[in-house]
Chain A
Amino acid sequence: MQILDFEREIFALENQIQDLVSLSHMYDSVGDISDEITKLKKKLRHMKHDVFTNLKGWQKTQVARHPDRPYTLDYIERIFTDFQELHGDRHGGYGPSVVGGLAKFDDQSVMIIGHQKGRDTQEKIKRNFGMSQPAGYRKALRLMQLAEKFDVPIITLIDTPGAYPGIDAEEKGQSEAIATNMYSMINMKVPILVTVIGEGGSGGALAIGVGDRILMLEHSVYSVISPEGCASILWNDKKKIEQAADALCMTATDLLRLKVIDEIIREPLGGAHRNYKQAAIGLRKALRLNLKALIQFSPEELVQKRYEKFRSMGVFTNGVG
């Protein structure tokens, strides 16, 4: 497992505890050290808690990008049943950086759509590191329209560094694909529940990000630009990543305070990658509660409330005085 800079002490203590445990199993002569182990375990919990409740923007970004962090398909497997993946944009595009399909959530049919990163090198390339071509967004739109047609609620999971910046992406209308998705999602007559599970990278995130509720996992991030991009443009210095991350206010805590998102979903201590099962339980609970609330509304109410939500985004003054 990749160890992040700020996790070193935690891992050192974990190793120490593990050594003591195996030592006590191996040799009787060690005597009873269970008290000592309990003490250290308590210390570890406190340490993890202290470190992970005070993560700054750049540290959160590193957790959000952790190579072992659960991805969309990991959550689908643990939260839904009867998942039937659906492929293709019907216009010549496959769109592997976005996955989607129908599934059962409790007894309810849902359409689940999310960005998908790859775990090993081969899959990373196949998924283009979660950076979608227009085909991925068009596939997502097609699936959303299918859901709307059959009154099926939509759940989207955001996890992308951003929309892919490439020659072919431009030729096929990356801008148009993203714009059209927002334009369509705002008017869908079914509930749309959006959760940022990892990286919420700009337009590529928004392309499946217009919904009735926007939730974020505790250590996910959501931003108009990456800290690296921001540092190199505004500071002219690639090393100013930490300052850029702080300035952008990209953590779930920041965004809840700014009233851009509705809810933060707690992650297991040490981050979602430490315990997939527990992370999935947390997400499932939040999805269930929010979906339950949303299906109370009529289609007209949903559309109206969703419109008002996005209409009110932005902070400005009337200048005079």
Chain B
Amino acid sequence: MSWFDTFIEKTGIGKKVPKAEIIWTECKGCKEQIYIAEIEKNLKVCPNCEYHFRIDAKERISYLINPGTFEEHDQDLTSADPLKFKDQKKYKERLKSTEKKGYSHDALITGSGVLGDHAVELSIFEFNFMGGSMGSVVGEKITRSIERAIEKRNPLLIVSCSGGARMQEGIFSLMQMAKTASALRRLSEHKLPYISILTDPTTGGVSASFAMLGDVILAEPGALIGFAGPRVIEQTIQQKLPEGFQRAEFLLEHGLIDNVVHRKDMKQTVNKLLSLLKNTPIAEAVA
């Protein structure tokens, strides 16, 4: 073995690094290289700039719901493809290939669980499933979650993360807006609280229905929230959009949401709000 071969072997130069060993990632917020373990430890928030990385529904549940208390509902509902929709690919095939990636709940997970001191009914969007788009299954699951809240007299929580309506279900996806808004009206009549949590992104038909109907509306920092997507607006008005437009902080400044809440404070904030909203009759409270 020549000195050169020995050198190569000792230093490991030229050896393929297995993929699993990638331990750094670029933060979308500050563009810095961040140690992935650091981000994980920090609820997937950049320790450098507080950028909130998008998380999947299971992670969200673990951040909000007391361990071991979550019970999933309606996991078997699947789309029936009422329009037999086909663009460049059949809608049915799109659904199948998404399921193969391990997301079999359509774009929403619903269930019951305990958040701090409160039993709640919970709906959480799964962005990895067709951009969190709302079709019949999402609308039905949310509606059932609302009905369960009424039945059990529990507060309702919806964590939105969605590009809007699912075009592949045409008019049916549009009608889910009316359906969910209608169910929320019933919830309201039963005087049960609904906390709407908006995460990046919450746009289109999701934003223009249940997401904006919360008794209290909270948003994660930096989340894109709006009716029309920024690209559509830019094309329509032929102008560049102002910095920070349609971000959570922008909505707060324009009086459209109640507060912007850091991921690490979300559970505690919701818990506090639910305790404050719990209706103790004044007479009892005084006595």
B17 smallest CB distance to A (angstroms): 35
B172–A183 CB distance below 8 A: no
Using an 8 Å CB-CB cutoff, how does the interface string of B147-182 with A read, 1 for contact, 0 for none?
A: 000000000000000000101111111111111011
- Pick the residue among A175, A311, A316 that contacts B208 (CB under 8 A): A175
Bound Cα distance A3, B204 (Å): 34
- Pick the residue among A180, A255, A314 that contacts B179 (CB under 8 A): A314
Bound Cα distance A163, B204 (Å): 11
Q: Which residue of chain A has the shortest Cβ distance to B253 in the bound complex?
A: A171
Interface residues of B in 195-220 (CB under 8 A from A): 204-205, 207-213
- Pick the residue among B139, B167, B211 that contacts A314 (CB under 8 A): B139
Of the listed stretches A39-47, A63-71, A203-211, A273-281, name the one at the interface; the rest are far from the partner chain: A203-211
The reply to whether the CB of B137 lies closer than 8 angstroms to some CB of chain A is yes
The reply to whether the CB of A290 lies closer than 8 angstroms to some CB of chain B is no
Residues of B with C-beta under 8 A to A174? 208, 226-228
B177–A203 CB distance below 8 A: yes
Residues of B with C-beta under 8 A to A202? 165, 174, 205
Of the listed stretches A48-56, A101-109, A149-157, A230-238, name the one at the interface; the rest are far from the partner chain: A230-238
A315 smallest CB distance to B (angstroms): 4
Q: Which residue of chain B has the shortest Cβ distance to A172 in the bound complex?
A: B254
Using an 8 Å CB-CB cutoff, how does the interface string of A156-174 with B read, 1 for contact, 0 for none?
A: 0000000101110111111
Bound Cα distance A249, B137 (Å): 19
The reply to whether the CB of A75 lies closer than 8 angstroms to some CB of chain B is no
Bound Cα distance A214, B107 (Å): 29
The reply to whether the CB of B50 lies closer than 8 angstroms to some CB of chain A is no
The reply to whether the CB of A13 lies closer than 8 angstroms to some CB of chain B is no
Q: Which residue of chain B has the shortest Cβ distance to A165 in the bound complex?
A: B228
- Pick the residue among B83, B167, B175, B226 that contacts A310 (CB under 8 A): B175
A320 smallest CB distance to B (angstroms): 6
The reply to whether the CB of A146 lies closer than 8 angstroms to some CB of chain B is no
Bound Cα distance A233, B212 (Å): 25
Bound Cα distance A148, B240 (Å): 43
Q: What are 29 pairs between A and B in contact, CB < 8 Å? A: A163-B227, A167-B237, A171-B254, A174-B228, A175-B208, A179-B209, A180-B212, A182-B181, A203-B205, A203-B227, A206-B178, A222-B171, A224-B205, A234-B168, A244-B87, A247-B83, A247-B87, A249-B83, A255-B171, A258-B82, A258-B171, A260-B172, A307-B186, A313-B172, A313-B179, A314-B135, A315-B82, A317-B77, A317-B78
- Chain B interface residues (CB < 8 Å from chain A): 75-80, 82-83, 85-88, 135-137, 139-140, 143, 165, 167-179, 181-186, 204-205, 207-213, 226-228, 232-233, 236-237, 239, 241-242, 245-246, 254-256
- Chain A interface residues (CB < 8 Å from chain B): 163, 165-167, 169-176, 178-180, 182-184, 186-187, 202-203, 206, 209-210, 222-225, 229-230, 233-236, 243-244, 247-250, 255, 258, 260, 307, 310-311, 313-320
